[in-house]
Structure 1
Amino acid sequence: MKKLLTLVALTAITGVYGQIDRSVRPAAAAAPTINIKNSEVFKLNNGITVILSENHKLPRVSFSLTMGASPMIEGSKAGTNNLMGELLTSGTTKRSKDVLDKEVDNMGASLNANGHSIYFSCLTKHLETGLDIMQDVAMNPAFPESEFERIKKQNESGLLSAKSDPSTMASNAETKIDFPNHPLGEVMDEASLAAITLDDVKNSYKKVFTPNGSYLVIVGDITKENALKLAEKYFGAWKGSPVYKEDFGNGLKAKGNRVIFVPKPGAVQSVISITFPIEMKPGADDQIALNVMNSILGGGSFGARIMQNLREDKAYTYGAYTSFEVTRDGSWFGTSGSFRNEVTDSAITEILNEITKISDSYVTDDELNLAKSAMAGGFARSLESPQTIARFALNIIRENLAADYYQTYLKKLESVSKDDVLTVAQKYFKGGFNIVVVGNEEILPKLKAFDSDGVIEKLDAFGNPVKEMKKADITADQLIERYINTVTATKSSKELTKKMKKVKSIVKKIELSSPQIPVVISMTDVFVAPNKEAMKIEAQGMVFQSSYYDGTKGSSMNMQTGKKPLTAEELASKKKGEGLFPEVNYKTSGMTYEIKGIETINGKDYYVLTTNNGESQSFDYFDVATNLKYKTISISKQGEETVESTIVYDDYKDVNGFLFAHKLTQTAGEMSLSGTVQTIEFNGEVDKTMFE
């Protein structure tokens, strides 16, 4: 009988469905009011607001302690708060870092921190042990000197990577331009990192980490009674200074378009960002309509207008997106996309055209409905997480939102009309834009037309004004001579030739380390006079990379591609840079080279020598005061991609009458390697298998 009823029901449904005109979009159902269970909220006597979202599906509890302090301007020591956050989990007055890490691992727990919050998650059975650890980290950080130095070193490597990453370079420029004299506009660079002391880190902690105005969000398998008892037990006695509060405004909106250029020599693509700050706080009346408009314009959907125009129609890029970021400390609009050099100006024109179009005319019904449906679906999915419910409660309190803000969110979203979208587009796209471009200087002439004053501002990788190179007071050949005389301790070409004849071979053993690699790596670098060279990188008995060149042939090997012979082009480029000190042979090897000028970096002057061997372009920096090589930036093209790597040389020491750098730092993309020379052996035994 059940089968018969099912068949009848299916037939009835099919009959009704067959009468539907599928060419007409069904009318949308009325947006429901979301029944979100209110979180429990209570306050401790010392000023901590506790927010509890109970969820007993899994035997797990998480605690998020968020400070109420406003961000602070750090000036010449930008990045202090970030360092402080990284150091919070590096040990307490009760637990060393090793002990702390071991206790967290033994519980299968998670512990994370930044400059304004601490997060801890553990199984319910480890609740009190976990809270004891979290309390210890929050209230008793030790900030050990050794960890401070280690983390500074890690950040130094990160800054080297940032200087070659065009997206990071663009982001740094955006924040500096949108938010001058504002905490959001501060960017840590090499100078500010070097200036930060351990006392600065400790003072940052004292100013930011205080119970007054802070929030403890508890989510998971715990009752209100127990949450209140444990919050009081572990955090109720905490005392601190009054919470720091300051409003630094909404950023600087340009009256006309500004073009900001960040040079990236050798780049074959330009990163473009069109950005500006907006005057908006979380929960503002316009925010939902603004998000709908952004979704239609370029907010992540493949069908968004900018994506369709620049990728599908013009094939300028693989992807281009827009976003409106609304935060309590500052809000802004931004774009993101990488474009071929030859279409940089066309891409800017099309982005501006799309902004104008959405500000001048109504979006279509299909665009509006699709954007609202996607946003509603995302909102509904987010409600599956208890973390979301707790975050809603925190936002309502911190941002002073209406108590039913999230319960009525879908109704507010559904009510957004084409008129609302047009209104917010006209309101927030009014005025000038900051047009940030990171790329090769060959594109500069095409950018002037976009600046309202026809003047292009140049910023460096960290958003600081670029100081034009000073004219060099010597020639390229004179620079090379000074460098060679310094590293070989010779005064004439005759003396140099005599000294170099005594060098039959040199074998360097270098120990490499990287934050991304958990093992120590060994590198063997071999030179055999007059022009043979070989290299091998290995760890734990396994060779990861090797290469050799014997003056006529060579090969390279890595674990991804295997062993490959050097091509004719690669051999030709090797020929131009062969020898213990390749610079000696530049005049006769065919190397293209010239001195570009004098660049000032962190208060020191460096001669910049550019070379091109046909395969790659390099920029060598020589200390004006010492003549020693400070760093080399190499740019090569691999397929359609441009690959940039940087080597920084430090700690020069005399070995057998020659100066060699004993500390090396190499970065390529996000990968960073720090090397320390262990031994340098002259005229010893050479492993001949390295040349096979």
Structure 2
Amino acid sequence: MSGAADRMKMFALAFVGVTAIAALVFAASPVHALEIKRMTLSNGAVLLVSEEHRLPMVTMMIEFDAGTRRDPKGKEGLAALTAECLSQGTKELTAPEFDQKVDFMGSSVGVSAGRDYSTAGMTTLKKYQGDTLKLLAGILTDPGLRQADIERKRAEQVAEIKAAEEQPGYAADVEFIKDLFGDSPYGHPGEGSPESAGKLSADDVRGFYRDNYKLGSAIIAVAGDVTADEVKISLEKELAGLSGSVAPQAEPPPIKVAPGLHVKLIDRNVVQANIIMGSGGVARSNPDFYRLKVMNYILGGGGFSSRLVKIVRSQHGLAYSVDSGFEPGKYQGAFTISLQTKNQSSNQAIDLILQQLREIQEKPVSDAELDGAKKFLIGSFPLGLERQSAIASFMVQVEFYGLGLDYAEQYPKLIGSVTKDEVLAVAKKYLHPDSMIVVAAANQSEAKIKTPQMEKAADAASAQ
């Protein structure tokens, strides 16, 4: 993989990295007002600009309705492969020539595929803004998509999947999403399987690009040393070749996990069992999102202050890491609990987790737990908006999920208004300790996974 492509992957993950750093801090100054200017280009794309002139740098992200949820049946991994191939130069510039121009300016340019959308983007010094934008526009409006490049990137993708499949945690995750989501758009790993990705052709890639990289459905976010008018003029010129819109995708039916604990065992010669358990979650548009965020922080999303870490790790010493989380998206996502534990302690750890799920449903959380969760979630939020890449990613998400341009100011109020009764209510509504999928990649001869809680759940299910 080229140096420019490597840097682009790091660039695409910048928002996640900033959020992870924020998780280490328990207090911060109040969110400063984030001024966002919103416009619409002549081709239908929504343009969001945050002017910040302290540093002579510019970051741009373009969201296309080309995420992995758009993968055709039997061609899982196509969105990811197409994104990688778009970064391999234009019809005039080969991949090495393209990378050389990007490297000379110290810029980052590339495309990456996420679950809900794909992102084309760039970071550059202000003085190279025009030249870098031309390169970005080139791979979007006139990509090379050469047969040799596509075959090379396909081989890399298959090799990466095969290497990942050797990891027990990855194997458990793949099995879990397949069992939970089935044939829905979220029901496969974004990179696909070795079989599906290995069959992808150059025509598949070119067709996916043609059908999904349309600016009429796109969101463009720009942060840095720019003016909104300047950006609009340059984008109208450089991206004039992309037009049209992507047809809406049918929303999948609600996730339903039948009563009982549905256990899938993957036998691996490992010392530690990798366990993932969960059920259906929520879409990002769910009005309970903020109540769930507070509840989950207390349950298992708050690191060492969460109940799962305190009980499973600190009190019983059964796991080095254990956490819970909702993964909301355009459509209903998953609620998951993940842990690593010794094979022999798998049953006990699962029992303790199920016990904690029931306890948070049975009585209100304490004042101290609620106060700590809200302080952290509000206090750490501004740290996610310290960098240009984070601001650009934030603006894309605000527009994509319809959160409102004043979301940065509204978020503290939304979290701060959550009550103990609301936490209890969402725990009862969205946690399902008696209807869960449990996937364990472990040395099954040592783990012998079958717990009293599972037997109870199975009895309850059979009685219904």
User: What is the TM-score with the length of structure 1 in the denominator?
Assistant: 0.58
Structure 2 Cα separation of the partners of residues 326 and 387 of structure 1:
21
Structure 2 Cα separation of the partners of residues 75 and 147 of structure 1:
24
The reply to whether residue 247 of structure 1 matches residue 243 of structure 2 is no
The reply to whether residue 40 of structure 1 matches residue 43 of structure 2 is no
Deviations 1:117-148 (A, max 9, x none): 21111111111111110000111111122222
The answer as to whether partners of 2:257 and 2:280 remain within 8 angstroms in 1 is: no
Structure 1 Cα separation of the partners of residues 34 and 449 of structure 2:
56
Q: Which residue of 1 aligns with 2:16?
A: none
In the comparison of the two structures, how many residue pairs are matched?
422
Q: Which residue of 2 aligns with 1:61?
A: 58
Q: Which residue of 2 aligns with 1:374?
A: 376
Distance 1:191 1:34, change over 3 A: closer
Structure 2 Cα separation of the partners of residues 385 and 141 of structure 1:
29
Aligned partner of 1:94: which letter? E
Q: Which residue of 2 aligns with 1:198?
A: 202
Distance 1:260 1:61, change over 3 A: same
Q: Which residue of 2 aligns with 1:221?
A: 225
The answer as to whether partners of 1:90 and 1:143 remain within 8 angstroms in 2 is: yes
Structure 2 Cα separation of the partners of residues 382 and 193 of structure 1:
34
Normalized per residue, the structure richer in strand is: 1
Q: For 1:447, what is the secondary structure of its paired residue?
A: coil
Q: Which residue of 1 aligns with 2:261?
A: 258
C-alpha deviation, 1:67, in angstroms? 0.8
Q: Which residue of 1 aligns with 2:73?
A: 75
Structure 2 Cα separation of the partners of residues 418 and 372 of structure 1:
11
Structure 1 Cα separation of the partners of residues 412 and 154 of structure 2:
46
Q: Which residue of 1 aligns with 2:124?
A: 122
Structure 2 Cα separation of the partners of residues 395 and 369 of structure 1:
27
Q: For 1:141, what is the secondary structure of its paired residue?
A: coil
The answer as to whether partners of 1:296 and 1:367 remain within 8 angstroms in 2 is: yes
Q: For 2:320, what is the secondary structure of its paired residue?
A: coil
Q: For 1:408, what is the secondary structure of its paired residue?
A: helix
Q: Which residue of 1 aligns with 2:91?
A: 93
Structure 2 Cα separation of the partners of residues 190 and 383 of structure 1:
37
Structure 2 residue corresponding to 1:433, chosen from 433, 436, 452: 436
Aligned partner of 2:105: which letter? M
Q: Which residue of 2 aligns with 1:183?
A: 185
The reply to whether residue 271 of structure 1 matches residue 271 of structure 2 is no
Q: Which residue of 2 aligns with 1:165?
A: 167
The reply to whether residue 238 of structure 1 matches residue 236 of structure 2 is no
Q: Which residue of 1 aligns with 2:103?
A: 105
Deviating more after overlay: 289-298 vs 273-282: 273-282
C-alpha deviation, 1:266, in angstroms? 1.8
C-alpha deviation, 1:171, in angstroms? 1.1
Q: Which residue of 2 aligns with 1:420?
A: 422
The reply to whether residue 339 of structure 1 matches residue 341 of structure 2 is yes
Aligned partner of 2:155: which letter? K
Please list, as runs of the form range in 1=range in 2, the aligned pairs for 1:491-510 lying within 5 A after superposition.
none
Structure 2 Cα separation of the partners of residues 47 and 127 of structure 1:
23
C-alpha deviation, 1:385, in angstroms? 3.4
C-alpha deviation, 1:251, in angstroms? 4.9
The answer as to whether partners of 1:94 and 1:136 remain within 8 angstroms in 2 is: no
Deviations 1:9-58 (A, max 9, x none): xxxxxxxxxxxxxxxxxxxxxx9985523311111111111111101111
Structure 1 Cα separation of the partners of residues 265 and 163 of structure 2:
16
C-alpha deviation, 1:438, in angstroms? 1.1
C-alpha deviation, 1:448, in angstroms? 7.1
Deviations 1:241-292 (A, max 9, x none): 431311332652212133332423322221111111224333x321111111
Q: Which residue of 1 aligns with 2:364?
A: 362
Structure 2 Cα separation of the partners of residues 157 and 33 of structure 1:
46
Please list, as runs of the form range in 1=range in 2, the aligned pairs for 1:199-598 lying within 5 A after superposition.
199-235=203-239, 237-249=240-252, 251-282=254-285, 284-430=286-432, 432-442=435-445, 445-447=448-450, 450=454, 452-453=457-458
Which of the pair has the greater relative contact order for Cα pairs under 8 Å at 6+ separation? 2
C-alpha deviation, 1:61, in angstroms? 0.7
C-alpha deviation, 1:175, in angstroms? 1.1
Structure 1 Cα separation of the partners of residues 29 and 84 of structure 2:
43
The answer as to whether partners of 1:60 and 1:221 remain within 8 angstroms in 2 is: yes
The answer as to whether partners of 1:207 and 1:244 remain within 8 angstroms in 2 is: no
Aligned partner of 2:259: which letter? G
Q: Which residue of 2 aligns with 1:144?
A: 146
Q: For 2:319, what is the secondary structure of its paired residue?
A: coil
C-alpha deviation, 1:368, in angstroms? 0.9
Aligned partner of 2:246: which letter? V
Aligned partner of 1:371: which letter? A
Distance 1:393 1:153, change over 3 A: closer
C-alpha deviation, 1:388, in angstroms? 4.5
Normalized per residue, the structure richer in helix is: 2
Deviations 1:431-456 (A, max 9, x none): 611111111232575327627558xx
Q: Which residue of 2 aligns with 1:568?
A: none
C-alpha deviation, 1:183, in angstroms? 1.7
Structure 2 Cα separation of the partners of residues 47 and 152 of structure 1:
32
Q: For 1:192, what is the secondary structure of its paired residue?
A: helix
Structure 2 Cα separation of the partners of residues 111 and 333 of structure 1:
34
Q: For 1:407, what is the secondary structure of its paired residue?
A: helix
Distance 1:32 1:111, change over 3 A: closer
CA RMSD of aligned residues (A): 2.2
The answer as to whether partners of 2:71 and 2:77 remain within 8 angstroms in 1 is: no
Aligned partner of 1:259: which letter? H
Aligned partner of 1:193: which letter? A
Distance 1:249 1:281, change over 3 A: farther
Aligned partner of 2:132: which letter? G
The answer as to whether partners of 1:392 and 1:406 remain within 8 angstroms in 2 is: no
Structure 1 Cα separation of the partners of residues 246 and 407 of structure 2:
27
Aligned partner of 1:287: which letter? F
Structure 2 Cα separation of the partners of residues 249 and 264 of structure 1:
32
C-alpha deviation, 1:341, in angstroms? 1.1
Instruction: Give ranges in structure 2 of 5+ residues lacking alignment.
Output: 1-27, 460-464
C-alpha deviation, 1:200, in angstroms? 0.8
Structure 2 Cα separation of the partners of residues 69 and 86 of structure 1:
12
Structure 1 Cα separation of the partners of residues 396 and 154 of structure 2:
33
Q: For 1:183, what is the secondary structure of its paired residue?
A: coil
Q: For 1:94, what is the secondary structure of its paired residue?
A: coil
- Bigger CA radius of gyration: 1
